[in-house]
Amino acid sequence: MNHPKKIFLLSALIIAAITNTCAQFPRFSLSTGLDVQRNFKKEQRFWAFGHFTQANFHLTPKDGIYVWFCYYSDGNVKNQLSATAKLPATIPQQIGYQNNAEIRFKHFSIGYKKYIKGAPDAEKRWNLYANAGLGLMLGRVNNTHSLLIDTATYNMPVLSGKANFKRLTLDLGLGAEYPLGSDFYLYGEAKALVPTTDYPSGYLFINDKAPFAAMLGLGLRLLF
């Protein structure tokens, strides 16, 4: 085989390989499912349930970008607290009471998704993947005190009423999925939302690195 024919054959093989790769990737998929949420921060532990939606942009058979949004039900927290008098002459100097808090939040995240085993378009075998990204937590808290206490006379460790709070988070996840056929995949996923900012709120009894939540989810992914 002469030199021009070799060049032509090599070029044809390269073009065929590129065409085949481009025909498969990049690809897009949507995931949706249900989550069980647990907040692990001491004095702020609660359970909640949520709904999860994720868009996946598969750039290669192993690498991609995700965007997810999730929202959760109210988590209930009870704390036994003490209000302290602002002046030495006030009697009593302390008043004990219970704060009943309802905490819930929505969460938005964007980051990197890596298939450790398998690929997003696998047809027979199960996949294992991990993701890491940055998120924004949009929270709401509603506090109800067991006693009506004059805030002009006493210092309160947590205020009564409703308020919003925000947190920037580091989001980590590990999941497994199995192809069901017709481009549907059943997945299970564990996620952790690690606060990177505090933004103290007088309506949250615990502000330092809180809420610190982890979730277990189950759902379906559809590949387009």
Q: Does pTM surpass 0.85?
A: no
Rounded average pLDDT over 6-16: 53
Q: Is residue 98 part of a domain?
A: yes
Which pLDDT band, with edges at 50, 70 and 90, does 8 fall under? low
| Per-state percent for the chain, helix, strand, coil, to nearest 5 | 10, 60, 30
**The domain that contains 60 carries what CATH number?**
2.40.160.20
Instruction: Annotate 92-116 with b (16+ C-beta within 10 A) or e (fewer).
Output: eeebebebebbbbbebbbebebebe
Contact at 8 Å (CB) between 126 and 176? yes
Residue 5 lies in a domain: no
Q: Is 9 a member of any domain?
A: no
* 19, part of any domain: no
Per residue in 80-99, pLDDT (tens digit) is 999 999 999 899 999 999 99
183 found inside a domain = yes
- Give the pLDDT confidence of 128-163 residue by residue, as tens digits: 999 999 999 999 999 999 999 998 999 999 999 999
Lowest mean pLDDT of 11-15, 107-111, 123-127, 148-152, name the range.
11-15
In-domain check, residue 18: no
Residue 108: pLDDT above 50?
Answer: yes
Residue 190's alpha-carbon distances to 81, 161, 171, 216, in angstroms, are 34, 33, 11, 5
Do 51 and 78 touch, CB atoms closer than 8 A?
A: no
Q: Could you tell me if residue 161 is inside a domain?
A: yes
- Counting the structural domains of the chain, the total is 1
Rounded Cα distance, 4 and 97, in Å: 89
- Mean pLDDT for 190-213 is 90
Give the percent of the chain with pLDDT over 70: 90
The candidate with the shortest Cα–Cα distance to 215, out of 43, 34, 31, 29, is 34
163-173 pLDDT, tens per residue?
999 999 999 99
Q: How far is CA 171 from the centre of its chain?
A: 6
Task: Give residue 26's pLDDT.
Answer: 87
Q: Decide if 195 contacts 209 (C-beta within 8 A).
A: yes
Q: Which domain does 99 fall in, by range?
A: 26-223
pLDDT at 19 over 50: no
- Read off the pLDDT band of 214 (50, 70, 90): very high
User: What are the tokens at 17?
Assistant: 């390989």
| Residue 7 in domain | no
Judge whether 48 and 101 are in contact, CB under 8 Å: no
pLDDT digits (tens, 9 = 90+) for 34-45: 999 999 988 999
Distance CA 118, CA 121 (A): 8
* Mean pLDDT to the nearest integer, 18-26: 57
Assigned token pair, 45: 């532990």
Per-residue pLDDT at 208 = 87
How many CB atoms neighbour CB 27 within 10 A?
Answer: 19
